Amino acid sequence: MKYLLPLAASAMLLAPAAYAVDIEVAYAYSSVFDPTFERIMEAFETAHPDIHVTFRATYEDYEDATNTILREAVADTLPDVSFQALNRQALLVERGIAKPLDPYIAEEEGFETAGYHKAMLDLSSFDGQIYGLPFSVSTPIGFYNMDILRAAGVETIPTTWDEVVETCRAINAKGEHDAIFWHWDISGNWLLQAAMWSQGVPMIEDGKLNMDNPEGVRALETAKAIFHECAMKPVSGGDASKQFAAGDLGMFFSSTAYVGFVDRSKLGDWDFVTAPYPGIDDAPKALPAGGNSAMLTSTSDDPEVLEAAWQFIKFTTSGEGAAAVALTTGYVPPNKVANDLLMDNFYAENPNKLTAVNQLPLLSEWFAYPGDNGLAVTQVIEDSLESILVGDADDMEELRDEMVDEVNALLPH
Q: Over its length of 413 residues, how does the chain's per-residue pLDDT go in tens digits?
A: 333 334 443 343 344 445 689 999 999 999 899 999 999 999 999 999 999 999 999 999 999 999 999 999 999 999 999 999 999 999 999 999 999 999 999 998 877 656 776 766 787 889 999 999 989 989 999 999 999 999 999 999 999 999 999 999 999 999 999 999 999 999 999 999 999 999 999 999 999 999 999 999 999 999 999 999 999 999 999 899 999 999 999 999 999 999 999 999 999 999 999 999 999 999 999 999 899 999 999 999 999 999 999 999 999 998 888 889 988 998 888 777 777 777 668 888 899 999 998 998 898 989 988 888 999 999 999 999 999 999 999 999 999 999 999 999 999 98
pLDDT of 3: 34
- Are both 4-137+291-363 and 140-288+369-410 of the same fold? yes
CB within 8 Å of 348: residues ≥ 6 apart? none
410 vs 93, 95, 132, 365, 404, CA distance in Å? Answer: 20, 18, 27, 21, 10
Q: Which residues have CB under 8 Å from 139's CB, separation 6+?
A: 255, 256, 277, 287, 289, 290, 332, 356, 359, 360, 362, 363
Q: Write down the pLDDT at residue 176.
A: 95
Residue 6 confidence (pLDDT): 40
With beta carbons less than 8 A apart as the criterion, state whether 140 and 191 touch: yes
The dotted CATH code for 140-288+369-410 is 3.40.190.10
Name the 3-class secondary structure at 101: coil
CATH architecture of 4-137+291-363: 3-Layer(aba) Sandwich (3.40)
C-alpha span between 18 and 344 (Å, rounded) = 39
Q: Give the rounded distance of the alpha carbon of 241 from its chain centre.
A: 14
Per-residue confidence (pLDDT) for residue 64, from 0 to 100: 94
Q: What is the pLDDT of residue 15?
A: 44
Give me the pLDDT at residue 11, please.
42
Domain residue ranges of the chain, discontinuous segments joined by +:
4-137+291-363, 140-288+369-410
The pTM score is 0.86
Q: How far apart are the first and last CA of the chain?
A: 34
